[in-house]
Amino acid sequence: MEAYVKIDLHGMTQDQAMKVIDKALDSAGSGTYQLQLIHGFNHGTSLRTMIQDWYRYDERVKRIMPGDNPGVTVLVLKEFY
């Protein structure tokens, strides 16, 4: 798998997005450092809130940070030094 995986969540419900994110977390290899979750800004804020609330406590996620625009949230799985 790639070091940075982009996942487009546009148009998904929270449940659908969680299934996609969980599958990506489960299949992330040792070379995967980040999941870049593209949820959108105007209609994606409920997904952003869900991601921040739910995955904050997931043991597979080291930290959560904003992406390069407000429509992206990044799950950091391991630090890239």
Please state the pTM of the whole predicted model: 0.91
Residue 37 contacts residue 74 (beta carbons within 8 Å): yes
Please report the pLDDT score of residue 44 as a whole number. 65
Instruction: Say which CATH topology domain 4-76 has.
Output: Ribosomal Protein S8; Chain: A, domain 1 (3.30.1370)
The per-residue pLDDT for 78 is 92
Dist. CA 49–CA 78, nearest whole Å: 22
Tens of pLDDT along the chain (81 residues)?
A: 578 899 999 999 999 999 999 999 999 988 999 999 999 987 768 999 999 999 999 999 999 999 999 999 999 999 876
Q: Where are the domains of the chain?
A: 4-76
